[in-house]
Amino acid sequence: RRLDGMASQLDAAGFDPLRLERWQRRKEFRRWLERARTPEGVGAALERDVAALDADERRYFGVEMAGGRVRSLTHEAVLLVAARR
């Protein structure tokens, strides 16, 4: 649905989409936080929030837990190429 909104915004701005790719991307949680240079307190708060998701939300994000900690999660990535008309 969000991509539909993006397509209408591109059209209104005078762009035509040329290529659209979507895929799921898995991240090892702590390595992702380190790579992003996430401050320790922010990372801990994010982990608490992810761990507190309900079962449906965890399934949607592909959350894997290990020993009460977030091990990994998944998110959708999008590549959109557009050209000005």
Give tens-digit pLDDT for 21-73.
Answer: 999 999 999 999 999 999 999 999 999 999 999 999 999 999 999 999 999 99
Q: Is the pLDDT of residue 6 over 90?
A: no
Confidence of residue 5 (pLDDT cuts 50, 70, 90): confident
- Environment class of 15 (CB within 10 Å of its CB; exposed 0-12, middle 13-18, buried 19+): middle
Name residue 80's beta-bridge partners: 20
- Environment class of 73 (CB within 10 Å of its CB; exposed 0-12, middle 13-18, buried 19+): buried
Place of tokens 């909104």: 5
Confidence of residue 8 (pLDDT cuts 50, 70, 90): confident
Q: Kindly report whether the global pTM for this prediction surpasses the value 0.85.
A: no
AA identity, residue 23 = W
